[in-house]
């Protein structure tokens, strides 16, 4: 079975209600809002015919509305949406809902029925679609968030939750666990929502830069497959390599940890405004935010450094020279983004990866013309692009000009064929 679209992870925000108020919650203050059946139906209609590697069920606290979770899972079965695995995060809220337990059992049987379809796709894919939750070796996992400063989670309720669902769902493909026992990278604080508001309590006077994160997911996270005769499933296909979240009010945003305030102030779009053009809207977002993920990561690191500087927080093991280098990278990333955004309308037949390469070549050629030392150019290529160490020495002014001209010619050829 061939699919035209593939998603690394789709998150459905079941509710914005929450029975806790954790100091570090990136979402911010809870809201009296649940996702509607209309939004769920619209979402599944828009992604029908798409392979979803991981379905992530989130909140708020999703277990406050087990009936909505059941509706979502039942509609996925009814519409025959192809999903590889499911993960749900909860704060440990326990009500002992037998309907949800039965629904999960039914859904696990559905995943077995479509396993051959999903497995074929996974084997043929030349992209790494391994879920970050794959180490738990489950097709449906419930993960209980029990770590983090200021989290008022009852150990007894967590244990009751684990016991209840373990007894109700006796299936090797189901796994329920505490986050503290299975995840090793939960020490990082995302400075959003409550965490940004309570940064003094969470960070203190000093911090290692890798312990905090400024959230900015405005980058290009889609790619098109190559026409490879040995990969027949992936001719002219479209991969979304970033989690996309449909929030409880229908707003769609990249990632899954953005605060409610930011989501509602500037979403990518609202799912209810789609008319079988979900992926077109995602594509437009990526053309408007054309930098690659490596550049975005460095931009976020510099933003975290700036946050600490303005708040008087000491960054451990960080020198003045480190700050200057990251400041330089941030400036180059801004130039790279502007170039990529500007040249797309000029070369409209090139795909995202091709425009990315041309933009980098233009920027680097400009740097050479400005007599910027090669060591700084190589540093940018190493830290902010997909150029490997073996290729960076080959990026000379002559190479840049040749690369640019070759893709200008390719755009002309594609334009001629399209006429």
Q: Do 261 and 338 share a structural domain?
A: no
Closest CA to 318 of 330, 306, 329: 306
Q: Do 413 and 264 share a structural domain?
A: no
- Look at residues 288, 305, 327 and tell me which one is the last residue of a structural domain: 288
Q: Do 335 and 255 share a structural domain?
A: no
Cα distances (angstroms) measured from residue 377 to each of 39, 332, 357, 371, 389: 47, 10, 15, 10, 13
Report if residue 309 sits inside a domain. no
Q: Do 339 and 272 share a structural domain?
A: no
What residues contact 406, with CB distance under 8 A and at least 6 apart?
none
Which one of 188-192, 209-213, 400-404 scores highest in mean pLDDT? 400-404
> What's the pLDDT tens digit per position in 117-166?
766 555 545 445 555 554 556 899 999 987 655 566 677 788 889 999 99
Give the pLDDT score at 22: 85
Domain with 383 in it: 319-418
Report if residue 126 sits inside a domain. yes
Report if residue 193 sits inside a domain. yes
Q: Do 327 and 270 share a structural domain?
A: no
Residue 140 near residue 173 (C-beta atoms within 8 A): yes
What residues contact 273, with CB distance under 8 A and at least 6 apart?
none
- How many structural domains are present in the chain? 2
With a cut of 90, say whether residue 372 has pLDDT above it.
Answer: yes
Residue 217 near residue 255 (C-beta atoms within 8 A): yes
Alpha helices in 371-396 (DSSP H): 374-384
> What's the pLDDT tens digit per position in 290-313?
999 999 999 999 999 999 999 999
With a cut of 90, say whether residue 247 has pLDDT above it.
Answer: yes
Report if residue 301 sits inside a domain. no
Q: Do 381 and 336 share a structural domain?
A: yes
Report if residue 44 sits inside a domain. yes
Q: Do 349 and 264 share a structural domain?
A: no
Q: List 56's β-bridge partners, or say none.
A: 11, 87
Q: Do 332 and 273 share a structural domain?
A: no
Q: What's the DSSP call for residue 317?
A: T
Q: Do 253 and 188 share a structural domain?
A: yes
Report if residue 307 sits inside a domain. no
- The predicted model scores a pTM of 0.92
Report if residue 171 sits inside a domain. yes
> What's the pLDDT tens digit per position in 45-86?
999 989 999 999 999 999 999 999 999 999 999 999 999 999
Burial class (CB in 10 A: 0-12, 13-18, 19+), 217: buried
At 42, which CATH number?
3.20.20
Give the pLDDT score at 229: 41
- Alpha carbon dihedral 154, 29, 133, 6, in 10-degree steps, equals 150
- Look at residues 241, 269, 288 and tell me which one is the last residue of a structural domain: 288
Q: Do 190 and 77 share a structural domain?
A: yes
Q: Rounded CA gap, 271 and 263, in Å?
A: 13
Q: Rounded CA gap, 361 and 354, in Å?
A: 11
Q: Do 147 and 263 share a structural domain?
A: yes
- Look at residues 235, 265, 288 and tell me which one is the last residue of a structural domain: 288
When pLDDT is averaged across residues 200-219 and rounded to a whole number, the result is 93
pLDDT band at 185 (very low <50, low <70, confident <90, very high): very low
Report if residue 312 sits inside a domain. no
Q: Rounded CA gap, 413 and 416, in Å?
A: 5
Burial class (CB in 10 A: 0-12, 13-18, 19+), 416: exposed
Q: Do 390 and 249 share a structural domain?
A: no
Give the pLDDT score at 186: 53
Q: Say how far residue 5 (Cα) sits from the centre of its chain.
A: 16
- Among 12-26, 259-273, 277-291, the minimum mean pLDDT is found in 12-26
């Amino acid at each position: 079975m061939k699919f035209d679209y593939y998603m690394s992870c789709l998150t459905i925000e079941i509710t914005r209600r929450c029975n806790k108020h954790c100091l570090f919650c990136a979402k911010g203050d809870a809201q009296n809002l649940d996702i509607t059946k209309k939004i769920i139906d619209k979402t599944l209609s828009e992604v029908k015919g798409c392979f979803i590697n991981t379905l992530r069920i989130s909140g708020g606290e999703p277990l406050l509305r087990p009936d909505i979770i059941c509706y979502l899972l039942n509609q996925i079965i009814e519409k025959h949406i192809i999903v590889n695995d499911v993960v749900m995060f909860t704060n440990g809220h326990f009500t002992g809902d037998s309907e949800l337990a039965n629904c999960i059992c039914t859904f696990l049987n559905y995943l077995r029925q479509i396993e051959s379809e999903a497995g074929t796709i996974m084997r043929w894919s030349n992209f790494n679609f391994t879920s970050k939750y794959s180490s738990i070796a489950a097709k449906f996992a419930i993960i209980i968030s029990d770590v983090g400063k200021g989290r008022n989670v009852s150990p007894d309720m967590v244990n009751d939750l684990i016991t209840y669902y373990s007894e109700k769902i006796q299936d090797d493909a189901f796994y329920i666990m505490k986050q503290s026992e299975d995840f090793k990278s939960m020490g990082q604080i995302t400075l959003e929502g409550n965490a940004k508001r309570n940064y003094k309590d969470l960070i203190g006077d000093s911090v290692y830069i890798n312990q905090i994160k400024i959230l900015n997911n405005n980058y290009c996270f889609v790619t098109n497959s190559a026409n490879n005769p040995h990969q027949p499933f992936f001719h002219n296909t479209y991969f979304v390599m970033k989690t996309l979240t449909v929030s409880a009010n229908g707003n769609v945003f990249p990632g899954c940890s953005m605060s409610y305030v930011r989501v509602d102030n500037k979403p990518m779009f609202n799912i209810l405004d789609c008319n079988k053009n979900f992926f077109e809207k995602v594509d437009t977002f990526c053309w408007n935010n054309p930098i690659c993920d490596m550049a975005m990561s460095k931009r976020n690191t510099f933003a975290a450094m700036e946050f600490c500087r303005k708040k008087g927080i000491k960054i451990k093991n960080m020198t003045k020279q480190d700050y200057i280098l990251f400041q330089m990278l941030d400036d180059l990333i801004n130039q790279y983004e502007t170039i990529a955004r500007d040249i797309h309308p000029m070369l409209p037949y090139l795909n995202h990866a091709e425009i990315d390469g041309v933009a980098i070549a233009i920027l680097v050629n400009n740097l050479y013309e400005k007599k910027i030392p090669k060591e700084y150019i190589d540093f940018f290529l190493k830290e902010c692009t997909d150029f490997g160490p073996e290729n960076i020495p080959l990026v000379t002014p002559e190479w840049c000009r040749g690369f640019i001209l070759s893709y200008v010619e390719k755009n002309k050829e594609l334009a001629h064929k399209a006429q």
